[in-house]
Amino acid sequence: MMMKKIIAMSALGAALLLGGCKKFLDERPFNQVPLADFYKNRYDVEAAVAGMYSGFQQEMVGKDQYTEKYMYWGEYRSDNFDRFLIYTKDFVDEVVLNSLTPTNQFSDWTGLYSVIGRANNNIKYIPLTATLDPLLTPAMVNSYLSQTYALRGMSYFYLVRVWGDAVVRLEPYESLDAVADEPRVAKDKVINEVIIPDLQKAYDLVKKGDKPVVFNIGEAAICATMADVYMWKKDYPNAIKWIKLLFAAKGPTGALYTGASELNLQPSATWKNMFTAPASSMESIWSIHWDYQKNGCACMQTSWTSNNKQISIDEGIYGTWFQPQVAVATRTTDIRPRQTADVFFGGTKPNRDRFVKWYPTAANPIAADPWPASNQLLPVYLTMYRLGDIYLLYAEALNATGDLPNALKYLNYVRKRAVVPEYLPTDPLVSNQIAMENAILNERQLELFGEGKRWFDLVRTNHVKAVMDPILKRRQTAAGNISAPGFLNPEHKVYWPLHRNVLNSNAKLNQNPGYTD
């Protein structure tokens, strides 16, 4: 009798517990919203688009100090930057010595796929939200979708340039029952079947002739990305076509880019404005927003930080372009080097780590006024595309199609604005197609120094081996290596390895050749 009672009571207890389980244990994180409760109105959509941009911004500028992938992917592997020997880290050594391994933190593509995942959600749900909230007008839907497609295309473009073949995901991953592990798709296929269609959709949806917000992807930014993609494909007629469409679009000041001469570029005297106040520059196309007040310290190795840097400007380019600017006697007319790095600090033994391009400095700086006051409180706006960049891309495309006179014209517009002598058509440096390609590449190196372009330029034009060999040999000799073989295996090593965690988490991935699987 007693025993039965106990069993009955325990059964009741168990029933209560089981019944209660769902309610007690179904905890939801406070800082997250289930997808089913989101995308209900215009404000949700605005937040979702902002979240997508924010993911991309954090990839480029970096979540933590010195993690700016804008530079790690776009420039630190090139001849523009080297390790700062005293403060370097193991992963920086790998980057500058062409000895990357799958444990290098910058070989992790997770962040880009996070941006792509957010874009996939937007593409699926923004049109559905429009049926729920009349405040979300068709014009807004088109604008947000256009930006979303463009940013997804841009993210895939980074994937293809950094790792080559990439996994393609165009639908949101919404259930753990769905297949998570997908193999990589060939890089050409990603370009042709994902990136170009995405950018085309973005262009079709964007309202033509609108005055864009410089921190968003507008009409011209889509054209610029498309041109860049076709340049990567070496499809020059299409690149030229998209650059011409860009010239017909409006910049953030409301003026047409036109692309007729150096007069469409930011004037020499106020060259700095397009970096410090991109919204007010006729040259700006798309910049990344980073506000110290809202986002905290940008803390890149090419911005102000309170700590020592692991990366500095390479001694080669420093010696030929920056150092001669210190003394008036050896100084050139070029307006750029002294506004790019503080050449005065440190005298004959500079640290080469004082990068000032993003900050308002005097147009003609002298030793007395190198760093702006309270620079740590200033915003940093990284340029993704600007008209000077496009002029040089245009010159590269025209040169490749055999139109040397027009290529020279656009190369000279940039040089004229930089206040350096324009090339004469007879100059052996530009008198044939190969020389011209090199001259354009060299101009891009200087004009776009620190803008995350140089490495991709070297890969695109197949100049990695030729340019990096002597640099690597010098670094290998300085490192005390027994032999200095230069930049080994460029056919494989132009790509990064896939990070070990990325490989482990998806059974269908394989490592890039030349790296350990």
Using CB under 8 A as the binding rule, the residues of this chain from 76 to 95 that contact other proteins are 83, 85-90, 93-94
Q: Name the one range near other proteins by CB under 8 A: 141-149, 365-373, 387-395, 481-489.
A: 481-489
Q: Which two tokens stand for residue 284?
A: 């700006």
97 counts as binding other proteins under rule CB under 8 A: yes
Report in angstroms how near the CB of residue 56 gets to other proteins at its nearest.
13
Least distance to other proteins, CB of residue 115, Å:
8
Backbone angles phi, psi at 256, to 5 degrees: -70, 145
Strand ranges (E), 64-198: 81-83
Please identify, using beta-carbon distances, which residue of 103 and 406 lies nearer to other proteins: 103
Element spanning 382, H or E: strand 382-386
Query: What is the footprint of other proteins within residues 280-319 (CB under 8 A)?
Result: 308
Which stretches of 233-383 are DSSP H helices? 236-247, 273-276, 292-295, 315-317, 337-340
Q: Decide whether 420 or 509 has the Cβ nearer to other proteins.
A: 509
3-state secondary structure 171-200: CCCCCCCCCCCCCCECHHHHHHHHHHHHHH
Which residues are CB-contacts of 177 (< 8 A; sequence separation ≥ 6)? none
Stretch 159-178 residues interacting with other proteins (CB under 8 A): 167, 169, 172-173, 176
Of the pair 365, 470, the CB lying nearest other proteins is at 470
- Under a CB-based contact definition with an 8 Å cutoff, are residues 229 and 191 in contact? yes
Is 480 among the residues that bind other proteins (CB under 8 A)?
Answer: yes
Applying CB under 8 A, the span of 377-385, 394-402, 431-439, 501-509 interacting with other proteins comes to 501-509
Residue (364 or 516) nearer to other proteins, CB: 516
65 CB-near residues (< 8 Å, 6+ apart): 297, 299, 305, 307
Placement of tokens 């864009």 in the chain:
212
Told to check if 50 binds other proteins by CB under 8 A, we report no
* Cα separation, 227 vs 219, whole angstroms: 12
Question: Given the complex with other proteins, which of 85 and 132 has the nearer CB atom?
Answer: 85
Taking the complex as a whole, the smallest distance from the CB of residue 235 to other proteins amounts, in Å, to: 27
Smallest separation, CB 174 to other proteins (Å): 9
Per-residue H/E/C for 32-78? CCCHHHCCCCHHHHHHHHHHHHHHHHHHHHCCCCCCCHHHHHHCCCC
Compare residues 314 and 334 and give the one whose CB is closer to other proteins.
314
Asked if 257 and 325 count as a contact pair (C-beta separation under 8 A), the reply is no
Cα torsion through 280, 286, 291, 294, rounded to 10 = 120
43 lies in the binding site for other proteins (CB under 8 A): no
Q: Is 482 in the site for other proteins (CB under 8 A)?
A: yes
Options 110, 137, 253, 510; binder of other proteins; rule CB under 8 A: 110
Confirm if 254 and 248 have CB atoms less than 8 A apart: no
Shortest Å, Cβ 52 to other proteins: 11
Q: Does residue 116 bind other proteins (CB under 8 A)?
A: yes
195, 170 Cβ separation under 8 angstroms? no
Q: To the nearest whole angstrom, how small is the minimum distance from the Cβ of residue 309 to other proteins?
A: 11
Angle at 429 between CA 425 and CA 435, to 5 degrees: 105
**Minimum distance from residue 482 beta carbon to other proteins (Å):** 5
Nearer to other proteins, 31 or 374 (CB): 31
How many residues at the interface with other proteins, by CB under 8 A? 47
The residue ranges of DSSP E strands in 197-255, in sequence order, are none
* Whether the Cβ atoms of residue 304 and residue 232 lie closer than 8 Å to each other: no
Q: Annotate 329-361 with three-state secondary structure.
A: CCCCCCCCHHHHECCCCCCCCCCCCCECCCCCC
Binding status of residue 103 toward other proteins by CB under 8 A: yes
CB 172 within 8 A of CB 124: yes
Residue with tokens 């400095």: 361
Applying CB under 8 A, does 442 fall inside the site for other proteins? no
Which one of the spans 105-113, 208-216, 330-338, 369-377 is the region binding other proteins (CB under 8 A)?
A: 105-113
Q: Which amino acid is at 287?
A: S
Tokens 């025209």 belong to residue: 398
User: Least distance to other proteins from the beta carbon of 294, Å?
Assistant: 24
Q: Does 142 bind other proteins (CB under 8 A)?
A: no
Q: Applying CB under 8 A, does 348 fall inside the site for other proteins?
A: no
Among the listed ranges 139-147, 201-209, 244-252, 497-505, the one in contact with other proteins (CB under 8 A) is 497-505
Residue of 122, 129, 476, 512 that binds other proteins (CB under 8 A): 476
Strand partners of residue 382: 288
- Is residue 193 close enough to count as binding other proteins by CB under 8 A? no
Residue 502 interacts with other proteins (CB under 8 A): yes or no? yes
332 is a site residue for other proteins (CB under 8 A):
no
Task: Return d(Cα 461, Cα 394) in angstroms, integer.
Answer: 14
CA distances from 185 to 163, 167, 300 (A): 11, 6, 32
Output 77 or 357, the one with its CB closest to other proteins. 77
Considering the rule CB under 8 A, would residue 99 count as an interface residue with other proteins? yes
181 binds other proteins (CB under 8 A): yes
Question: Quick one: DSSP state of residue 512?
Answer: P
Residue numbers of the site for other proteins (CB under 8 A)? 83, 85-90, 93-94, 97-103, 108-110, 113-114, 116-118, 120, 167, 169, 172-173, 176, 180-182, 308, 476, 479-483, 500-502, 504-506, 516
